[in-house]
Structures are given as C-alpha cells and as structure tokens.
C-alpha cells in the first residue's frame, strides 16, 4: 500500500462531506490536535460549524478540490456517494484514504455485489438489470418476493421497492428513472448485524464488536452491542469484514452489514466505505471511537484498541420526534446518568432525517436495551 508517511497533530486534514459523520470526524480530529477543512456544498453543513475552514462547493468542482488538496496532509470522505473521480484527482496532492478505487466499488450495488461474489463472499441471490428488457429474465432467475434496488444513491431504505410480480418490477424500474438496478431475493431474516473494521496503511486490521441492528422503514432505529448471536457467528462476521477490507486493499474505517438467515447462515448485505451509523456506540463504549480510528488510519498512525468497555445500546433520533418547531424533551435523556446525547446541529427537522442519537450503558446488553427503549418512548413525548 506504499510507504507510510505519518501525519502528526497540527497538520491539516480534509474531509469530503459535511454531514453528521463529518461533524463527528471533525470533533475527533480537532481533539487530537489536527486542523480540519470540510468540502461540502451545503452552506449550513453540520461539520463546517466545527471545522477550521469550509470550502462551500460541489464535490466535482476542480478548483475547490485543488484548493483542498494543496492545503491538506491527508483527505478522507464521510459518505460513499462522493464522486470517485474527485478522490482520484485529489490523490495527486496528498494521501486519500480510503482510495477512490475502493469507494467506486462500494458506492455501486452492481459493482459491490459482483465484487463480493467474485471474491467468494455469500450474498442474497441477485440479478443485474441494466435496461427494461432485462427485467423478465431477472425475475425468472430470482423469483418473488424480491427487492428492486437502484445501483447508486440508495440509503436508509431509499431507492428500493418490493416486487411481487412482473408488473411491480416494471413499475418500480420506471419509477427509479429506468436506471441500472439490482433485483435481489427477499429473505426471511433472523436478524441483522454489522461489523465496523479499520485497516491501516500497512494492512493491519482492527474490528469492533458486532452490533445487532433493528430498522424501521429502512432506517436504523436501534443497535445493541454485543450482538445477541452466537460467538461463532460473531467471529465469522468479524473475519469476513476484515477479509473484505483486505480484498478491497482498503485503508480507513468501513462497515460491513450482514443478514442472518435460517441455520445461522451469514450473508453480506452492503459495504459502507466510512464510519457507520451502527458504530456510533463506539464513541461512548469503546476505548477508541470509530472516528478516532478514522483519523488514525488516514494519518498513517497505529490503529487504536477497539475493545468494548461496557454493554451498550444506541438509538437514532429522527426528525419525526419534533412537533413542528418544538424539539423533543431532551431532559428525558439528560436526566439519565447512564445515557449520553449526541445532536448533529442540523437546522431543519424532517421526517426520516437523522438529527442525533443517544447511547445507554448497561450492566448487560439486555439492561442497556431496556433503558434505551424506555428513553426512546419518553423522548417521543
């Protein structure tokens, strides 16, 4: 992966994207003594509020990218939908970790699933749909029920539709703009887990404990750690996540999401080439947070210890919790000594928009889970 040049505090780090993941990265980097420049087109970027500088421009603006590249000692990204060509352009100025090549695979479902299949990882059965005439053969191969997913720009349940017939598939494909899609067999899930893993410039990897995740309307609602699955299954997920990072020649923090189906079979659902929502628990319950780890990896430093210090549950706070302009009763969380509140500084609360999260520490994962659910109910008024 090349000669490792260590980037030390007081250097300037760049990040593409200024949402909540960029904000939490910025906090970690500045706490460690680095300066941070955020490139994001949003003038009210949550990360930019806390950064040293905000370049308010498109991710494809070459002048803005050059300005960022010349000012920084290393650059990373907070989301996978950034233009991979922009990352390759930035690499002529300083190290970009992860690489544009790795992000290009993870940001496209067709490339991602093909990569996983070709490297021997199990996934749900899928078929590629490039044009409308591919749909009938794909449906015959996969069967129903199925899910049609856009190949790019899908997240939090967006860009996908349930398919129970050819008519469903044709209508969904048209609704998605007749753009390339993946048709995936819909599975009966026992549960869903994810593993956040870090890989450094020398190929060393560190994995965080597996999180067990509950989704509502396609958006992560709750993560509990450690996951209530067998040790054998958790170890397999950890090995697979580390192997995915190795096969991608990845440098940085990434998450691998898994489906657990009957007979404890493990299937990879998605790769996220960045810190992950299900890894936010690491900020309060691990020796090294996923954002500290992101800084370490991009700067060529040794990876931090990822051990879990206590069982934990993490709950997302969505814009649905607001009543018009009235914020939720934050004291519901702040009055609890075992809970920690994290708000993202977003100006407008919209249904389904991630506005923050809170974590609860417990003596057991069941204890943390019960407390988290109690506080979630209180927060909803």
Average pLDDT of the chain, as a whole number: 95
CATH of the domain at 139: 3.30.1490.20
Position 167 in a domain: yes
On whether both 240 and 273 belong to a single domain, the answer is: yes
pLDDT on residue 3: 52
Question: Which residues does residue 162 pair with via DSSP β-bridges, in sequence order?
Answer: 147
How much of the chain, in percent, has pLDDT values that exceed 90?
92
The string of pLDDT tens digits covering residues 128-154 is 999 999 999 999 999 999 999 998 765
Give the containing element (helix H, strand E) for 247: helix 231-247
220: in domain: yes
Residue 86: CATH number of its domain:
3.40.50.20
154: Cβ contacts below 8 Å, ≥ 6 apart: 109, 160
Rg (CA), the chain: 20
Residue 218 DSSP code = T
Q: What is the pTM of this model?
A: 0.94
The range of the structural domain enclosing residue 195 comes to 191-379
101 within a domain of the structure (yes/no): no
CA 109 to chain centroid = 15
Residue 248: phi and psi, rounded to 5, are -80, -10
Q: Strands 35-39 and 12-16, how do they pair?
A: parallel
Say if 114 falls within a structural domain.
no
> 211 with 256: CB under 8 angstroms?
no
If asked whether residues 221 and 294 sit together in one domain, one would say yes
Residue 2 binned pLDDT confidence (cut-offs 50, 70, 90)? very low
**How do residues 56-67 score in pLDDT, each as one tens digit?**
999 999 999 999
In a domain, 321, yes or no: yes
Which residue is it, tokens 């994207």? 17
* 148 shares a domain with 27: no
SS3 198: strand
Contact by Cβ (8 Å): 75, 90: yes
Reduce the DSSP state of residue 49 to 3 states and report it: coil
Shared-domain flag, residues 202 and 342: yes
Contact present, 282 and 290 (Cβ < 8 Å)? yes
pLDDT in tens, 84-139: 899 999 999 999 999 999 999 999 999 999 999 999 999 999 999 999 999 999 99
Give the pLDDT score at 80: 85
Query: What pLDDT score was predicted for residue 331?
Result: 96
For residue 42, name the pLDDT band (cuts at 50, 70, 90): very high
Q: What is the DSSP letter of 212?
A: E
Question: Is the model's pLDDT at 180 over the cut of 60?
Answer: yes
Percent of the chain with pLDDT over 70: 97
């Amino acid at each position: 992966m090349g000669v490792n040049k260590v980037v030390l505090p007081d250097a300037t780090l760049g990040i593409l994207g200024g949402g909540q993941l960029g904000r939490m990265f910025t906090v970690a980097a500045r706490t460690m003594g680095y300066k941070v420049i955020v490139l994001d087109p949003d003038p009210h970027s949550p990360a930019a509020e806390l950064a040293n500088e905000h370049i308010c421009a498109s991710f494809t603006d070459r002048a803005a990218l050059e300005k960022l590249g010349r000012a920084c000692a290393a650059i990373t990204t907070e989301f996978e939908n950034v233009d991979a060509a922009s990352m390759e352009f930035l690499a002529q100025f300083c190290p970009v970790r992860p690489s544009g090549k790795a992000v290009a695979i993870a940001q496209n479902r067709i490339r991602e699933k093909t990569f996983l299949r070709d490297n021997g990882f199990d996934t749900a059965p899928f078929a590629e749909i490039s044009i409308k005439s591919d749909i009938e053969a794909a449906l015959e191969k996969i069967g129903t029920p199925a899910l049609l997913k856009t190949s790019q720009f899908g997240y939090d349940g967006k860009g996908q539709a349930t398919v129970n017939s050819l008519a469903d598939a044709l209508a969904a494909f048209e609704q998605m703009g007749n753009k390339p899609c993946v048709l995936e067999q819909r599975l009966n899930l026992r549960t869903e887990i994810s593993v956040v893993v870090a890989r450094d410039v020398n190929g060393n990897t560190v994995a965080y404990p597996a999180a067990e995740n509950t989704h509502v309307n396609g958006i992560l609602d709750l993560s509990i750690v450690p996951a209530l699955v067998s040790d054998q299954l958790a170890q397999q997920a950890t090995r697979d996540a580390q192997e995915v990072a190795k096969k991608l020649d990845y440098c940085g923090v990434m998450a691998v999401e898994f489906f657990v189906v009957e007979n404890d079979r493990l299937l990879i659902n998605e790769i996220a080439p960045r810190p992950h929502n299900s890894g936010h628990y690491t900020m309060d319950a691990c020796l090294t947070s996923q954002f500290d780890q992101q800084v370490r990896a991009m700067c060529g430093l040794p990876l931090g210890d990822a051990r879990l210090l206590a069982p934990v549950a993490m709950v997302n706070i969505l814009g649905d919790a607001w009543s018009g302009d009235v914020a939720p009763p934050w004291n519901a969380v702040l009055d609890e000594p075992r809970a920690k509140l994290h708000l993202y500084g977003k100006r407008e609360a919209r249904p389904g928009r991630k506005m923050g999260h809170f974590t609860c520490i417990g003596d057991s994962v069941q204890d943390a889970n019960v407390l988290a659910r109690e506080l979630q109910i209180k927060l909803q008024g």
